[in-house]
């Protein structure tokens, strides 16, 4: 290859990768929504590729830039407590994005191959059909990313709208994947302006249709919010405690008693909250106290003497809900360790236990441990044992709740048990202190918020170092504690809505929209072929 050609290829590669990185600015904490239009760089790259292979490489380069910029913060967890996992930092910064980029590469390759197959090799009028096909297949591979190998649906395109609550309301109908489909179609549309094979008339029609759809969704969402009152349960007052314990100190045996004392002090009814929801009566006392994931940073079992001491944080007639590593034994008597949420009454009685079922690879267990000579990042040599799955838990004085530990909340459609009693709220206990003051905690918070909108359920979030919050069933934040703050939130529990369309039908409407989009793109491609043959 001539030197000039190699230089042009390098410049093209840098432009594509940079457009992916710029797209990440649309997501929290930056929330620069117009940056999402940098996704048009991906559509342009695929459109100008001369083969399926080059389209796949273009898709991979764009996605690599996007995920490096969006997920760099994962490497922070490897640096907590020393340089033991320093060798894994390059794998976190570049290895994970390189793997995730394979999904986008697959979408680009499929779109290019299908466009050529449907339109014929002589056809040059690929623009509209190829654009819509690419957007549809991209959306499908995002769904796949959220399900394959336990799934990792982080920074789905839908979350680019975090600072525009009206646009998020559509998630109550089509979920995060449906909103992502619309977002990808919109964000890649500017690429049509640079496609000379499309007439100005066709481009104007396509842009007008997409713009009208986005504006229609926004107007509907705005009206939904304007008409929605935040009804509150005055019989359930929740105190969320944010202990703000640094991760480097969390598991230090000498410091643990002080950490527990801090949580107990913040849980007392007479302690004034740092944040009060506007709807909270002045003399209201907490009926439920919530501590974050592994707030109790030592191994506990259901017969532990520690439960009696911890029960002093539970309100009379209510419960303390807290996170802790829990010891149990299987049928053979072998010990198991769980990442658990426990509900404790004032009498010291354990009302219920929920074990995390969606464990973090390499964080809470090591995949292929038989062949990989490494330990998990979370302290302790043994892998955590997963629980049975999403469940509704009930106890005296506490409305039925669906507990979600850490990143279990990131999975659309999998935060409520498929059968049994429908919960009246979602509870997300997490420990984002692993990631410091980075983009990670802000992204996690935005992801959690969308689950409330999808399910029509309020969400209470307790995070060790932040962000803790009480969120109503429309995704509105009623009270919030920021990163790095020590304090509490007192708020009545918002009322649940009737099951949303998404809560009832799941991703069915999303897949219907995908099928319609694929059919339309096929008609455009085949129609272009027939038109050219006729000429």
From 142, 250, 356, 408, active-site residue: 356
From 142, 293, 454, 455, active-site residue: 293
Per-residue pLDDT of the chain (535 residues; tens, 9 = 90+): 677 778 888 899 999 999 999 999 999 999 999 999 999 999 999 988 989 999 999 999 999 999 999 999 999 888 886 777 788 889 889 999 999 999 999 999 999 999 888 766 544 445 788 899 999 999 999 999 999 988 999 999 999 999 999 999 999 999 999 999 999 999 999 999 888 878 889 899 999 999 999 999 999 999 999 999 889 998 999 999 999 999 989 989 999 999 999 999 999 988 999 988 888 888 889 999 999 999 999 888 766 678 888 999 999 999 999 999 999 888 888 889 999 999 999 988 999 999 999 998 877 887 766 666 666 666 666 788 999 999 999 988 889 999 999 999 999 999 999 888 999 999 999 999 989 899 999 999 999 999 999 999 999 999 999 899 999 999 999 999 999 999 999 999 999 999 999 999 999 999 999 999 999 999 988 875 545 444 4
Cis check: omega of the bond before 29, within 30 degrees of 0: yes
Clarify whether 519 is annotated catalytic.
Answer: no
Per DSSP, 469 falls in state E
For residue 499, being part of any structural domain is answered with no
CATH code for the domain in which residue 322 is found = 3.60.110.10
Which structural domain, as residue segments, surrounds residue 264?
Answer: 233-494
CA distance linking residue 501 with residue 505, whole number of Å: 6
180 shares its domain with 52: yes
138 shares its domain with 250: no
For residue 501, being part of any structural domain is answered with no
For residue 455, being part of any structural domain is answered with yes
Look at the block and give the residue holding tokens 């002090």. 265
526 shares its domain with 477: no
How many Cα atoms are found within 13 Å in the side-chain-facing hemisphere of 76? Answer: 16
DSSP run (H or E) holding 253 = none
182 shares its domain with 154: yes
CA distance linking residue 268 with residue 312, whole number of Å: 9
For residue 454, being part of any structural domain is answered with yes
CA distance linking residue 207 with residue 192, whole number of Å: 8
DSSP notation for 27-59? STTT--GGGGGGGHHHHHHHHT-SSHHHHHHHH
329 shares its domain with 184: no
b/e map 488-524, b = 16+ CB within 10 Å: bbbbbbbbbbeebebbebbbebbbebbeebbeebbeb
176 shares its domain with 204: yes
Clarify whether 531 is annotated catalytic.
Answer: no
Tokens of 452: 């409330």
Domain count, the chain: 2
237 shares its domain with 222: no
489 shares its domain with 515: no
113 shares its domain with 185: yes
From 142, 364, 376, 406, active-site residue: 406
Of 94, 155, 163, 246, the closest CA to residue 444 belongs to: 155
189 shares its domain with 247: no
For residue 500, being part of any structural domain is answered with no
461 shares its domain with 524: no
Bridge partners of 278, per DSSP, are none
364 shares its domain with 260: yes
């Amino acid at each position: 290859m001539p030197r000039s050609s190699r230089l042009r290829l390098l410049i093209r590669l840098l432009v594509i990768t940079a457009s992916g990185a710029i797209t990440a600015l649309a997501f929290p904490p930056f929330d620069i929504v117009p940056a999402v239009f940098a996704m048009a760089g991906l559509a342009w790259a695929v459109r100008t590729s001369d083969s399926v292979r080059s389209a796949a490489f273009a898709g991979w380069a764009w996605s690599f830039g996007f995920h490096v910029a969006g997920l760099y913060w994962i490497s922070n967890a490897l640096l907590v407590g020393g340089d033991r996992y320093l060798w894994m930092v390059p794998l976190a910064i570049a290895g994970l994005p390189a793997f995730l980029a394979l999904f986008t590469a697959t979408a680009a390759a499929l779109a290019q191959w299908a466009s050529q197959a449907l339109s014929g090799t002589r056809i040059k009028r690929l623009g509209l059909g190829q654009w819509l096909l690419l957007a549809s297949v991209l959306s499908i591979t995002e769904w796949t990313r959220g399900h394959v190998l336990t799934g990792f649906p982080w920074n789905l395109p839908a979350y680019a709208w975090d600072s525009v609550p009206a646009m998020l309301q559509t998630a109550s109908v089509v979920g995060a994947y449906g909103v992502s489909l619309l977002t990808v179609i919109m964000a890649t549309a500017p690429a049509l302006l640079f496609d000379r094979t499309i007439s100005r008339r066709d481009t104007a029609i396509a842009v007008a249709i997409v713009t009208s759809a986005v504006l229609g969704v926004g107007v509907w969402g705005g009206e939904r919010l304007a008409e929605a009152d935040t009804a509150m349960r005055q019989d359930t007052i929740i105190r969320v405690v944010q202990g703000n314990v640094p991760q480097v100190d969390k598991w230090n045996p000498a410091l643990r008693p002080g950490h527990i004392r801090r949580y107990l002090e913040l849980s007392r009814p007479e302690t004034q909250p740092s944040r009060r929801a506007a709807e909270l009566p002045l003399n209201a006392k907490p009926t439920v106290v919530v501590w974050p994931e592994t707030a109790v940073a030592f191994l506990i079992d259901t017969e532990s003497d520690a439960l009696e001491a911890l029960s002093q944080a539970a309100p009379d007639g209510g419960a303390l809900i807290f996170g802790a590593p829990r010891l149990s034994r299987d049928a053979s008597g072998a010990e198991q360790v769980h990442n658990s949420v426990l509900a404790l009454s004032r009498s010291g009685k354990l009302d219920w236990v929920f074990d995390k079922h969606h464990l973090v690879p390499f964080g809470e267990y090591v995949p292929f441990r038989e062949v990989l000579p490494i330990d998990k990042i979370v302290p302790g040599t043994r892998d955590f044992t997963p629980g049975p799955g999403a469940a509704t838990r009930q106890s005296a004085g506490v409305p039925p709740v669906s507990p979600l530990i850490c990143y279990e909340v990131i999975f659309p459609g999998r935060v409520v048990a498929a059968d049994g009693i429908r919960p009246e709220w979602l509870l997300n206990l997490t420990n984002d202190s692993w990631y410091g003051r980075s983009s990670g905690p802000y992204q996690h918070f935005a992801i959690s918020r969308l689950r409330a909108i999808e399910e029509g359920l309020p969400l209470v979030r307790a995070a060790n170092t932040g962000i803790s919050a009480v969120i109503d069933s429309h995704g509105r934040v009623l009270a919030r504690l920021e990163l790095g703050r020590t304090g509490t939130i007192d708020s009545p529990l918002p009322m649940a809505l009737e099951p949303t369309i998404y809560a009832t039908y799941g991703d069915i409407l999303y897949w219907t929209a995908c099928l319609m989009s694929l059919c339309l793109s096929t008609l455009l491609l085949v129609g272009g072929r027939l038109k050219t043959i006729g000429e």
